Each structure stands twice: as C-alpha cells, then as structure tokens.
Amino acid sequence: MTDGCRPCVVIWTIFLLSSVMGYKPVIIVHGILDGPRQFEILAKFINQSHPGTSVTTLALYDYIGSMKPLWQQVDGFREAIRPIMESTDDGVHLICFSQGGLICRGVLATLPTHNAHSLILLSSPLAGQYGDSSYLKHFFPKFIKSRLYHFCYTTCGQRISICNYWNDPHQRERYLKSSIYLAPLNGEIEHANSTAWRDSFLRIQTLVLIGGQDDGVITPWESRSLQRFISSRDIEHQKFWYLRDAFGLKTLNSEGAVVKCVVPGVHHTSWHSNHTVYKNCIDKWLT
C-alpha cells in the first residue's frame, strides 16, 4: 500500500467502525467554575477508544455563570440536551462532572421523554455538600461550614448554586424547609412532581457513580455515591428515604443498574483527565 493511500484507509476504517459499532452520542455537562475547555482530554479519550463518536461538551453557564441557581441551569441544559436526544433513536450517554451531576439529574427528572442510556457521574455531590474545601473558601471566605446555613438556608442564599445542595446534617429542619433543589430532587420532601420525576429517572439503563476518598472537594466524599441513601450504617431518616425508593435509587440498585467505581489518589479537578479513571470507570459504558 502506498503512503498516499494510508490516510484514506484510516478515514474509512474510522467511518466503518463508527457505523458498525453504532456508538451512541455522548453529552458532557461541566461542573462549577468549569467550561468545555476542561473536558478536551476526556473528549480525546472517547474518540480514541470509540472512533467516530459524537461528543458534545455543552457551553452553558460556564465559569462564573455556573453559580446561577440550579433550576435555572436545568432549564437551559434541558433545552440544549433535548435536540441531541431527539436526533438519535438509540439513546445517548451523559457524563456529568461535580455540580453537573446534580444538573443532569434535574434535567432527566424533568424530561419524561429522555433517552439517556448511561448516566455517568464524576464525583458529584449527589447527597449534598457539607465540608470545608478550597471551593467553599473561594465562595464564602467569611463563613465556616458550621455557620454557612445562616446564609444558604435563606431566599437569597438559594440563588447561588452551591447553596442549592448545601446539606448541613445539624440543621435538618432548616434544610428541609429552605432547600428548593436537592431536597425535592431526592424526594426528601413531598411535592406534586415526585412520582413523575421518579418515573423519568428510572428510564436510564445504567447509573455509574465515580469518586474517591482523595477528592479533596466533595465532602463527605461518599456523597458522590449516594451512600447516605444506600448504606445500612447511616442514620435512620436517610435509610427511610432509600427504603421508600423516593426517587428510584432502590429500584435501580436492586436491578443491578447502579455501578460504583472508587479510585484513590485522584483530586477533584483531575477526574475528567485521568486515563485510569476513563479506562476503568467510563470506557465500557460508552457502547
């Protein structure tokens, strides 16, 4: 084969692999203070192992815009995700990082016709955030975690994204009364959309929960795995929400649809650029 023909062969091979394998489109949703640029390495990993895959990193609420209230962000991301889903009959994969995991859950809960096949959540505070971190000090330099509820559990505080999932275990009543996002999303409070959101969440085929004890930002780090709902060692009211199957987690878990991937030694900002994480926790679910 001449050197001039080799590029053509490579292009046709990639095209044929994409056609034969039928890789589903991948949609990436960034986290707080992030944007598409931070996910270029992840997109490269995907295209190397699954040639021809359509990878879209949504450029919405980037960087400082990511501090907007989560329901506002959900509305915007839902309208960006909907046409991508409608363009394929085979479904899509969602990879959502950090705060983006909560946004993806909100999108799927409020999009009853979604066709998300795999929901892959990279170190997301799914059971809420409660702990000191560099992010917290950046947003609230004058507060310590034990006092942040004074601001977060107010109408003004709930206009900032991180307060939408601030879950202070010592201020349970205030959290339930004030939380306009995490508490209803997790079914911790009754609301008119509880059943519809649960049914919509259950449309996903696989829920992949990725994180590790060296994350350094998500605190407690087990929040990424919704361990507060699954663990039999946790406090009674949280076990009750899981047993009540408030948003479908128990059903998915009982069906073997929940996959947990724990990787030590990975800092929060490195999850989407770590090749070991990609190979061991993400790659196999993108078919």
Does residue 98 carry a catalytic annotation? yes
* Residue 181 predicted with pLDDT over 70: yes
Q: Tell me what pLDDT residue 10 has.
A: 37
| The predicted structure's pLDDT at residue 136 | 59
SS3 for the chain, per residue? CCCCCHHHHHHHHHHHHHHHHCCCCEEEECCCCCCHHHHHHHHHHHHHHCCCCCEEECCCCCHHHHHCCHHHHHHHHHHHHHHHHHCCCCCEEEEEECHHHHHHHHHHHCCCCCCEEEEEEECCCCCCECCCCHHHHHHCCCCCCCCCHHHHCCCCHHHCHHHHHECCCCCHHHHHHHCCCHHHHCCCCCCCCHHHHHHHHCCCCEEEEEECCCCCCCCCHHHHHCHHHHCCCCCHHHHHHHHCCCCCHHHHHHCCCEEEEECCCCCHHHHHHCHHHHHHHHHHHCC
Active site residue 245: no
Averaged pLDDT score across all residues of the chain: 86
How confident is the model over 114-147, as pLDDT tens digits? 999 999 999 999 888 887 665 556 666 556 677 8
Of 118, 215, 223, 272, catalytic: 215
For the segment 275-280, the average pLDDT, to the nearest whole number, is 98
Q: List the catalytic residue out of 98, 161, 178, 179.
A: 98
The residue from 114, 117, 268, 272 that is catalytic is 268
Indicate whether 101 pLDDT > 60: yes
Residue 8: pLDDT band with limits 50, 70, 90:
very low
pLDDT tens per residue, range 83-96: 999 999 999 999 99
283 in catalytic set: no
Give yes or no for residue 66 having a pLDDT over 90.
yes
Structural domains in the chain plus CATH codes: 27-285 (3.40.50.1820)
